[in-house]
Amino acid sequence: MPSSILSAPMASIGVPKEIKADELRVALTPDGAKELVTQGLEVRVQAGAGDGAGIRDEAFANAGAKIVTRDEAWAAHLVVKVKEPQQEEFELLRKDMVLFTYLHLAAYPKVSEALITAGTTGIGYETVQMENGSLPLLAPMSEIAGRLAAQVGAHLLERPHGGSGVLIGGCTGVRPARVIVLGAGTVGWNAARLAAAMDAEVMLLDRSPERLRNLEADRRGRLMSVVSNRALLERLIPTADLLIGAVLTPGGRSPTLVSEQMVKQMKPNSVIVDVAIDQGGCVATSIETTHTNPTVNIHGVQHYAVGNMPGAVPFTSTEALVSVTLPYILGMAGRGLEEAITERPELLSGLNTIGSSVCHPGVAKALGITPRHPMACLR
């Protein structure tokens, strides 16, 4: 890795069009582009990159961005995306670039291989972690995914969509759906809150009594928080009409909390929404799906495991994403990666790959690779 890529300002920012199946988000808004251009930086937006989110090339051009080809966008010093590079994009990775996007390398080992082979500096939004443990660049997408999980689950419970025909909120004299949410992080809490707001009977499970205690003051409706353990899962999961998997190991693969045997014991035509699928999934039977073909029926249970759930609402998701990533893009492009890390130390945990090294311990463990300390990678 040339030291200039790490220490010198990166004069050009490339914004490719997303090509992952049904991915309609874009990594920058016209307002974000204008902010970068105002700082004397060159912004290259691939033609049509914002179409899915309802943002036309003209809006980017009016903000001062250059509308370019795919190859010209990828040729920038700093490339910002929404999702991990796809197979067709591997040839565009190179040593003298920084890639800033959701990587989820634990779930996509071929992407890690491509980054290492190319020697690309890869920074994962999902592993940028504050000192208090929060994940500022994952939080807005987790919030959206959690709310979508409850919304999608309610829809899939309807009989015409393959469900058991249970109305999530029930009605007078008829019980509501039982919704079990695994994990009380940002995804799980948002899923549980929305399901409770729809009058479902919600059980929010987490291993941390402290986390559940902190959420207790905001509990609403038929929402019960429960400290999780395996025996409890084995008892509760067969009673669920809707099961939402929302567990996260930053940088690493999600633990498999729901075995195939547990799935076999669930009610016929019940629904699983595995939000953790982009980290490998927390349900043993989950298979990654797309927005076009979102469900598969396994053992009589509907499985929804779309790897880019927020892509279903690309306008909201794009605005929310850029609101948190733009300060980091400005810092890296305007000052260089090393100085940006000095100013925002949490960026150090975002480093997944530099050159031929994997720098994040969680990612390395999931891939079975010996990690290098991020500071050693920077030298």
Which residues are known to be catalytic? 104, 278
**Alpha helix positions (H), 63-204:** 70-74, 109-118, 139-156, 186-197
Rounded distance between C-alpha atoms, residue 142 and residue 229, angstroms:
24
Quickly tell me which residue has 């899962």 as its tokens.
Answer: 233
Concatenated DSSP letters of 296-313: EEETTEEEE-BTTGGGGS
> 192: how many CB neighbours lie within 10 A of its CB?
32
Which residue, among 371, 375, 378, 367, has the nearest Cα to 106 in the 3D structure?
367
Rounded distance between C-alpha atoms, residue 139 and residue 286, angstroms:
23
DSSP 84: P
Kindly report the backbone phi and psi dihedral angles of residue 312, in degrees, each rounded to the nearest multiple of 5, phi listed first: -70, -20
